Homo-oligomer: A and B are copies of this chain.
Amino acid sequence: MPALERHDDVFVLDLGDTENRFHPDWLAAVNAGLDEVEGAAGPRALVTTATGKFFSNGLDLEWLGGHRDQYEAYIADVQVLLARVLALPMVTVAAMQGHVFAAGAMFSLAHDVRVMRADRGFWCLPEADLGMPFTTAMTALIQARLTPQVAREAMVTARRYGGVDAHAAGIVDHAVGAEELRSTAVELATAQAGKAGPTVATIKSRLYAPALQLLGDRTAPRS
């Protein structure tokens, strides 16, 4: 299950050591971590990472299969989490030590900066192969981060990007060795911890206004 630690100015959120799919309990634990991060004061930044082979594989399709009547509420909860990370009033860094798929990849895009392991693991939006089109709101999130060419390739062809290719495509900002992954992310976050606060909150709310409104951010201006 997700767990939060603080090291000086940097909160490190570990998404877990399984496939880290978005089970309702997992969503609750991540939201609890974000409550703590948001509730803290002073300089701070967030690094999100995980343990083992997966960063996150996204939606919990097994749980969904048993709760089809809750599909819409579940997707809404996922989208509100994406909005929450996107709008977080501090710099956020995803340190992707393993596979990053589907809604897990969108969760990574909600962060300001992405650092990916160069030698193993894929970043992929497999929705075109799964028969699960992106919602309008998820589409807006992806378009808020990627160039038109890369958004098209990632969304229409479901390409699997290794770290080096993901860096070349501008999906991730850095591709580094596994042993440097977390330290690189923490270093990037530490350098930006002083940015935390209401100014960055307002900057982000305007920069991502269309995506935030569609995702259902509860704090975004509605006009």
What is A's interface to B at a CB cutoff of 8 Å? 91, 112, 127-136, 139, 143-149, 151-152, 155-158, 170, 173, 192, 194-195, 197, 199-200, 202-204, 206-207, 209
Contacts and interface: CB of A to CB of B under 8 A. Distances in A.
B195 A158 contact: yes
Nearest to A151: B207
8 contacts: A128-B195, A128-B199, A131-B199, A132-B199, A134-B207, A135-B206, A156-B200, A156-B207
Nearest to A145: B148
Contact of A170 (B147, B157, B192): B147
Contacts of A130: 199
A195 B156 contact: yes
A157 to B, nearest CB: 6
